[in-house]
Structure 1
Amino acid sequence: MRIYLVLFLLIPTTLLAQNRKKKDYLVTLTTAYGPMRLVLYDQTPKHKENFIKLVDQKFYDSLLFHRIIPLFMIQGGDPNSRKAKAGDPLGSGSIGERIPAEFVPTLFHKKGALAAARDNNPEKASSACQFYVVQGRVWDDATLQKQVERIQAMKGHVPTDEQKQVYKTIGGAPHLDGNYTVFGEVIDGLAIVDSIAKQPRDEMDRPVKDVRMTMTGDWVKKKKITKQFGYKYL
């Protein structure tokens, strides 16, 4: 009887796991400039699990995009930004242990990439909460080659020919590849990234007018995500 009971208990768990594989966690990041939808990569499980946990805990709600650099990226997630006053320096806040780097050569800093911020630790481990979204720029052959040389000097990941083509058409920030963990991407709302990146900023690259965020997440069927947003799963 015990064997049958164990098998009976395992069936719902197995079905749940199979059902979860058919779904993905869709993040909606909302600011005064509109919503962005993001997916998180399965190839970076530590970062994905951590980000889902924080979104479910409402950790990011009311935090700021505290650093914006046009044609580069917008950064947020500093817990110190929740009650920050105008002029307060931001960017050093954290909530605990760093996350080990998860560098995957096929995941790169194209426009819309979601990546983990970090300090200058030698392991290149990620902040447990701060992140950035790439705006980047479009590169031509000459300027991209200079970026490749910069990447080689930094011992990062040199983009493949296919990735170079993306950098020359869609754009991005190639010099960050292999030095910061990319763990997701914006699949809807790239124009919102552009809107935030062009806001007036002070000498510390903080927006003059606060850009606050809220985040929600929901498990959605992958087929629905593909149909609605055109995102293709590998």
Structure 2
Amino acid sequence: MRISQIFYKAAFICLLFLSPTAQANSVACFTSSMGQFCIELFETQTPITTANFLKYIDSDAYTSGIFHRSIPGFVIQGGGFKVVDGTSGDSLVPVNTFSPIVNEFKISNTRGTVAMAKLGGNPNSATSQWFVNLADNSANLDNQNGGFTVFGRVIFDGVTVFDAIAKLPVRNLGGSLTNAPLKDFDGVHAALSNLVKIDRVEVTDPTGIFSDSILSFAVDIGTGQMYHVSLRLISDTPSYEFQLDPTSVVPLSATPGNIATLSNSINQLQIPSVMIGASSTVKNVVMQLTDAELYKFTLLSFE
């Protein structure tokens, strides 16, 4: 079986079992007072919401922002307030918001997914605030207010940061900060320095993302067709072996700016860059198709 036939067959299967979160996208990495975490953005499925989120990042709305709401077992929420320097010291102010966006609910609110917050009774009211699902909240949030739009997922070990935030003491600081998580809190005096703060946000565009034993990326198979695909790590001894998930194959109508290539002549896959951690990326990943019937690839080299 030629390698191109594998993807044609897999693409047909995809039409029956489409997996909406199996694509490599832009990644936003946040450095916070509780640690670093990264969010893969689902640009293909939720283009309006993703563009809105990136617009806030570009405007520095989330830099020096805080997480103002912690409901253990449910969500951690931020994007609404930030700490700013003033002549008389630091102060907490609301984030300047852009116009509300249209709801794009498509993906379930499962653990580790990231969704937009909005006003009750108005599905199209999301602006700057977002939250991370600490649990599978699909039975609730998928059915409320038109469904809460999931536009990304926390990757690598970033969910542990939010689990740690959920263990912090919570205090009512008034206004919208009725469930504010506090770090290094003495139990008596709450200060701005106790709030969980975002120090920096960086956006990257890797070709592929390797998280939770899944490698996802966009690929040009050399015949004019392009797909988003996922390979699952099935063995790391004696060599790293991956297997294509046929249900993850999604045909693309346009060429991404950063894409892997597949050579039919030598059955080799070349991926320019793969993000493997919040601050780790490997380059020039080369894989060999070693079992065409089972869609298996073996890692040959990387830099």
Question: TM-score normalised to the size of structure 2?
Answer: 0.51
Q: Structure 1 residues 59 and 201 mapped into 2: Cα distance closer, same or farther (>3 Å)?
A: same
RMSD between aligned alpha carbons?
2.8
How much has 1:87 moved relative to structure 2? 11
SS in 2 for 1:195: helix
The equivalent of 2:35 in structure 1 is: 34
Contact 1:56-1:216 at 8 Å conserved across structures: no
**Structure 1 residue 96 and structure 2 residue 95: aligned?**
no
Contact 2:40-2:154 at 8 Å conserved across structures: yes
The equivalent of 1:191 in structure 2 is: 160
Q: Structure 1 residues 228 and 217 mapped into 2: Cα distance closer, same or farther (>3 Å)?
A: farther
Aligned residue runs from structure 1 range 1-234, under 5 A: 24-41=25-42, 42-78=44-80, 80-83=81-84, 95-104=97-106, 107-122=107-122, 124-136=123-135, 171-178=136-143, 179-188=147-156, 189-203=158-172, 204-208=178-182, 209-213=194-198, 214-222=200-208, 225-226=209-210, 230=214, 232=216, 233=230, 234=248
How much has 1:133 moved relative to structure 2? 0.6
- Residues in 1 aligned to 2:211 and 2:129: alpha-carbon distance in whole angstroms: 30
Query: Which has the larger Rg?
Result: 2
The equivalent of 1:160 in structure 2 is: none
Contact 1:94-1:130 at 8 Å conserved across structures: no
Contact 1:29-1:215 at 8 Å conserved across structures: yes
Task: Write the letter of the residue equivalent to 1:195.
Answer: A
Contact 1:116-1:127 at 8 Å conserved across structures: yes
Task: Write the letter of the residue equivalent to 2:110.
Answer: K
Q: Structure 1 residues 96 and 121 mapped into 2: Cα distance closer, same or farther (>3 Å)?
A: farther
Query: Relative contact order, CA 8 A, sep 6+: which one is greater?
Result: 1
Contact 2:103-2:126 at 8 Å conserved across structures: no
Q: Structure 1 residues 230 and 57 mapped into 2: Cα distance closer, same or farther (>3 Å)?
A: farther
Q: Structure 1 or 2: larger helix share?
A: 1
How much has 1:228 moved relative to structure 2? 8.7
Identity of aligned residues (%): 28
- Residues in 1 aligned to 2:125 and 2:30: alpha-carbon distance in whole angstroms: 20
How much has 1:94 moved relative to structure 2? 5.1
Unaligned runs of 5+ in 1: 1-21, 137-170
How much has 1:197 moved relative to structure 2? 1.2
Cα deviations across residues 5-44 of structure 1 (Å, max 9, x unaligned)?
xxxxxxxxxxxxxxxxx96311102212211111111201
